[in-house]
């Protein structure tokens, strides 16, 4: 039965302020249904509850589900724009257009928050003070460019957090000329930082300034007869030539701008951004939109622009080229202009090179969308192929849990006990979401006294035994550890892993009741959408660990029952009991066996066989 909208009455609406802000509609379970922005909160919310005939079908469905309203007044529409975007990213409301980043593409990360920054490839984008370049769709070209940069400049490759952490002596890179050993004080922070500034300029496409500077330094070194330094500057110029030779010149005027194009098919929209610096095409970014039925192109383009720039505000060009005018364009322009702190405009080109760039971006988006569509259809019939790229569920887990890399292998632990009797633990292993039973392990709890039901201590015991052995035998370790339970089980597992020296493995706990995901150093649990493929992997691992532990617990209880009953039969000692257990496995099988079958058991004669069957037959009569 459809819900009424009486929960939001006219008095509540009239009490809303006239100022800008963000409104959040929730259902009766407090789940966020929709997040919207308003120039006037009162007027915008009131518009939802007009005549049914004036509303689109999707809005009618939304209003039937609304149970309560939450509003966030702000000072300006620009503030509302950013708040709306952040709330949509946080809650992923079902009635909003949903932006989906393609996390299969890597970034180059420069750790600017460190005194001597490192440069490396990552697929994890977080707010940690680092500079992220990308994402790069041509991974081969990205790694080739990174190799060239490291040949041109002596960037350190170690993982020390300098200057607080330093090695006892310079490493091999120093001795072969790949690093100037800032760890040993042989390179100053200012000199190292100047090198990083050059690299940032190169990756941003601004090579003319660097080329001029390097040429001047080379000439100065030559005049001073410092031929070693002049040779190093010459190598930098050659590296710049190599980088530029791989970048297509698409704007002879050497302009700096981005161009966005998009394509849509059914409920899926693909947006493509081409990044041009000094007339050269540096790279491409891809974003997807879902839940787009009945949405206008102008609305979709507005969401794409926000998706490209609201999370990466460090490389905003002086000019953004778009195919059409989009919703909230003036607000987006105001926001990005303030972030850029320099001249910025949004432009719809009609002809010429800029229009051609828009067409190229649109064709690019169409191509990517068709490729993904074909891949999805193929996987629907044949299943996903492990071609080296992480599955979608792994990428989702990396995104939601904040992992450095998508977890391809998952180890999951669970405990099974019945009033403290036959307490056992299990460890199961999933590779790309599929059980790998060769890696399954089971444990009888031995360090925790059976009559003391302490789930935390038992979890700590099995995790400790599991990793102690794997470390001792140098066996491969999982990308992600999952424990069945909540904060207590998670804390116990982490303590065991710390003691085993594997604290660098990411760990979470999955609670059965509300499917909440607990993470170390996070006070509140994470709730993933029920349809999230990453959650499905965690549930599959948890359920398989539970099944495997319960199976072992039942086996031990069955053996205990059989052993207890056999001990009561005259003439059955420990040796005969073990032989009967090994041969028959259960009382039911023994009860239905013949005297001749029992006699075949080592140590059981005919008279003993008759005694066993008579004792078990008397049980049936009671």
Residue 88 lies in a domain: no
Q: Burial of 476 by CB count in 10 Å (0-12 exposed, 13-18 middle, 19+ buried)?
A: exposed
181-188 average pLDDT score: 88
Residue 99 counted as domain residue: no
Domain count, the chain: 5
Tell me the pLDDT of the chain averaged across its residues.
Answer: 79
Same domain as 313, residue 261:
yes
- Count the neighbouring beta carbons within 10 Å of the beta carbon of residue 81: 22
d(CA 548, CA 555): 11
Residues in the chain, overall count: 622
pLDDT, greater one: 145 or 289: 289
pLDDT attached to residue 147: 72
Whole-number pLDDT of residue 22: 92
Query: Judging by DSSP bridges, how do beta strands 319-321 and 257-265 pair with one another?
Result: parallel
Query: Does residue 135 have a cis peptide bond before it, meaning omega lies within 30 degrees of 0?
Result: yes
Question: Could you read off the pLDDT of 421-446 as tens digits, one per residue?
Answer: 668 889 999 998 888 888 999 888 87
Q: Are 232 and 263 found together in one domain?
A: no
- The answer, yes or no, to whether residue 217 has pLDDT greater than 60, is yes
pLDDT in tens, 238-271: 666 655 544 444 555 667 889 999 998 877 888 9
Shortest CA distance to 280 belongs to which of 314, 246, 308? 246
List, in order, residues 6 or more apart from 340 with CB less than 8 Å away. Answer: 316, 318
And the tokens for 609? 């066989």
280-290 vs 268-277, strand pairing mode: antiparallel
User: What average pLDDT does the segment 275-303 reach?
Assistant: 82
d(CA 519, CA 526): 8
Lowest mean pLDDT among 458-467, 505-514, 549-558: 549-558
Reduced 3-state DSSP string for 202-239:
HHCCCHHHHHHHHHHHHHHHHHCCCHHHHHHHHHHHHH
CB atoms closer than 10 angstroms to residue 13: 16
Q: What is the pLDDT of residue 504?
A: 79
pLDDT for 559: 62
Confidence tier at 324 by pLDDT (50, 70, 90) = very high
- pLDDT given for residue 17 in this prediction: 87
Whether 58 and 157 map to the same domain: the answer is no
Q: What share of the chain is helix, strand, coil (3-state, %, to 5)?
A: 45, 20, 35
Inter-residue contact 92 to 98 (CB < 8 Å): yes
* pLDDT for 378: 43
Write the CA distances from 304 to 98, 353, 465, 536, 606, integer angstroms.
10, 23, 49, 28, 84
Which of the listed residues 555, 577, 604 is the one where a domain comes to its end? 555
**Euclidean distance between CA atoms 5 and 49, whole angstroms:** 8
Are 452 and 360 within one domain? no
Q: Which of 132-141, 198-207, 285-294 has the lowest mean pLDDT?
A: 132-141
Contact 567, 589 (CB under 8 A): no
CATH no. for residue 411?
3.30.420.340
Which helix or strand (DSSP H or E) is residue 59 part of? helix 57-65
pLDDT tens for each residue of 594-621: 888 888 888 788 888 888 777 777 655 4
Q: How many helices (H) and strands (E) does the chain have?
A: 20, 20
CA distance 217 to 563: 87
Q: Cα(30)–Cα(404) distance, rounded to whole angstroms? A: 32
Question: What pLDDT does residue 620 have?
Answer: 54
pLDDT for res 254: 61
Which of the listed residues 346, 378, 410 is the one where a domain comes to its end?
378
Instruction: Report if residue 116 sits inside a domain.
Output: yes
At 385 the pLDDT is 47
With tokens 């292993």, the residue in question is 429
At 92-147, the pLDDT tens digits run 888 888 876 544 556 778 888 888 888 887 766 677 778 877 666 556 666 666 77
Burial class (CB in 10 A: 0-12, 13-18, 19+), 495: middle
Q: Which of 158, 167, 199, 197 is nearest to 185 (CA)?
A: 167
The predicted-structure confidence for 49-75, as pLDDT tens digits, reads as follows 766 556 666 777 888 888 888 888 888
Instruction: Assess whether pLDDT exceeds 90 at residue 31.
Output: no
Which CATH number belongs to the domain containing residue 337 in this structure?
3.30.420.10
Asked whether 458 and 425 are in contact (CB, 8 A), the reply is yes
596 and 551 assigned to the same domain: no
313 belongs to a structural domain? yes
pLDDT band at 560 (very low <50, low <70, confident <90, very high): low
463 pLDDT band (50/70/90 cuts)? very high
Question: What kind and span of H or E run contains 173?
Answer: helix 172-175
The tokens for 528 are 């993933």
Confirm if 73 and 38 have CB atoms less than 8 A apart: no
| Residue 33 belongs to some domain of the structure | yes
pLDDT at 243: 54
CB atoms within 10 A of CB 470: 19
Q: Is the residue at 91 inside a domain?
A: no
Same domain for 524 and 427: yes
Q: What is the span of the domain harbouring residue 606? A: 568-621
Strand 68-73 versus strand 21-26 pairing type: antiparallel
Between 397 and 450, residue with greater pLDDT: 397
Residues 6 or more apart whose CB falls under 8 angstroms from that of 230 comprise: 218, 221, 222
Same domain, 284 and 226: no
At residue 622, the pLDDT reads: 46
Task: For 426, list phi and psi in degrees, rounded to 5.
Answer: -135, 150
What would the two tokens of residue 345 be? 């405009």
Neighbours of 590 (CB within 10 A): 22
136 and 173 assigned to the same domain: yes
Supply the pLDDT for residue 23: 92
pLDDT at position 412:
95
What are the beta bridge partners of residue 516?
511, 527
Q: Per the domain annotation, does 251 fall within a domain?
A: no
Q: What does the DSSP 8-state code read for residue 185?
A: T
Average pLDDT, stretch 26-46? 88
* Residue whose entry in the numeric block shows the structure tokens 């060239």: 148
pLDDT band at 538 (very low <50, low <70, confident <90, very high): very high
Lowest mean pLDDT among 83-92, 310-319, 335-344: 310-319
CB 426 within 8 A of CB 443: yes
Choosing from 222, 245, 268, the residue where a domain stops is 245
List the CATH number of the domain containing 62: 3.40.1440.10
Mean pLDDT confidence for 4-33: 80
pLDDT, tens digit (0-9, with 9 covering 90-100), for 375-414: 554 443 334 444 456 788 888 898 888 887 889 999 999 9
Closest among 312, 257, 310, 298 to 279, alpha carbons compared: 257
Report the range of poorest mean pLDDT among 158-167, 311-320, 448-457, 598-607. 448-457
Same domain, residue pair 374 and 422: no
Compute the Cα dihedral for 151, 154, 158, 159 and give only its sign.
Answer: negative
Does residue 491 share a domain with residue 361?
Answer: no
Cβ atoms of 347 and 322 within 8 Å: the answer is yes
| 407 and 533 together in one domain | yes
Q: Percent of the chain having pLDDT more than 70?
A: 80
Count of Cβ atoms closer than 10 Å to residue 62 Cβ:
19
pTM over 0.85, yes/no: no
Q: Is residue 562 in a domain?
A: no
Q: Are residues 412 and 517 in the same domain?
A: yes
């Amino acid at each position: 039965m459809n819900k009424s909208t009486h929960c939001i009455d006219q008095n509540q609406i009239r009490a809303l302020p006239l100022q800008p802000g963000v409104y959040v509609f929730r259902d009766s379970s407090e789940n966020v249904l929709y997040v919207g922005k308003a120039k006037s909160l009162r007027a915008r919310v009131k518009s939802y509850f007009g005549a049914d005939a004036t509303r689109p079908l999707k809005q009618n469905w939304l209003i039937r589900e609304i149970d309560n309203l939450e509003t966030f007044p702000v000072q300006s529409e620009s503030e509302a724009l950013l708040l709306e975007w952040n709330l949509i990213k946080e809650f992923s409301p079902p009635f909003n257009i949903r932006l989906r980043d393609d996390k299969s593409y890597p970034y180059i990360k420069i750790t600017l928050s460190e005194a001597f920054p490192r440069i490396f490839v990552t697929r994890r984008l977080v707010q940690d003070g680092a500079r992220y370049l990308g994402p790069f769709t041509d991974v081969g070209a990205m790694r080739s460019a990174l190799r060239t940069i490291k040949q041109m400049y002596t960037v350190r490759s170690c993982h020390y957090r300098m200057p607080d952490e330093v090695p006892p002596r310079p490493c091999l890179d120093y001795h072969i000329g790949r690093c100037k050993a800032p760890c040993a004080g042989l390179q100053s922070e200012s000199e190292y930082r100047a090198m990083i500034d050059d690299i940032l300029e190169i990756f941003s496409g601004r090579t003319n300034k660097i080329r001029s500077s390097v040429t001047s330094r080379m000439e100065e070194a030559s005049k001073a007869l410092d031929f070693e330094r002049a040779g190093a500057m010459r190598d930098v110029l050659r590296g710049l030539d190599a980088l530029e030779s791989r970048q297509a010149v698409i704007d002879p005027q050497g302009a700096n701008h981005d161009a966005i194009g998009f394509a849509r098919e059914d409920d899926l929209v693909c947006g493509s951004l081409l990044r041009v610096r000094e007339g050269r095409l540096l790279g491409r970014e891809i974003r997807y939109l879902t839940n787009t039925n009945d949405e206008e192109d102008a609305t979709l383009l507005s969401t794409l622009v926000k998706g490209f720039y609201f999370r990466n505000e460090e490389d905003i060009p002086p000019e953004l080229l778009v195919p059409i005018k989009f919703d909230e364009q003036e607000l987006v322009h105001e926001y990005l202009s303030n972030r850029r702190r320099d001249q910025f405009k949004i432009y719809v080109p009609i002809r010429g090179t800029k229009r051609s760039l828009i067409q190229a971006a649109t064709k690019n988006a169409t191509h990517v969308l068709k490729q993904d569509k074909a891949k999805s259809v193929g996987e629907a019939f044949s299943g996903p192929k492990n071609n080296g790229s992480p599955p979608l569920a792994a990428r989702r887990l990396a995104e939601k849990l904040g992992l450095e890399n998508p977890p391809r292998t998952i180890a999951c632990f669970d405990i099974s006990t019945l009033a403290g009797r036959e307490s056992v633990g299990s460890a199961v292993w999933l590779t790309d979401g599929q059980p790998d039973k060769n890696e399954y392990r089971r444990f009888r709890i031995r360090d925790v006294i059976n009559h003391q039901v302490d789930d935390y201590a038992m979890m700590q015991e099995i995790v400790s035994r599991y990793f102690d052995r794997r470390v001792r035998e140098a066996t491969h370790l999982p990308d992600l550890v999952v424990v069945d339970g909540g904060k207590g089980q998670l804390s116990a597992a982490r303590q065991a892993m710390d003691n085993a020296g594997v604290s660098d493995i990411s760990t979470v706990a999955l609670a059965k009741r509300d499917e909440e995901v607990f993470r170390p150093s996070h006070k509140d649990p994470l709730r993933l959408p029920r349809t999230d493929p990453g959650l499905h992997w965690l549930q599959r691992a948890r359920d398989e660990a539970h099944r495997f532990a319960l199976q072992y617990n039942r086996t031990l209880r069955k053996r205990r029952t059989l052993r207890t009953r056999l001990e009561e039969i005259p003439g059955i000692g420990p040796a005969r009991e073990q032989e009967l257990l090994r041969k028959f496995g259960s009382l039911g099988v023994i009860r239905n066996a013949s005297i001749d079958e029992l006699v075949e058991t080592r140590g059981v004669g005919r008279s003993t066989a008759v005694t066993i069957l008579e004792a078990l037959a008397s049980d049936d009569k009671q």
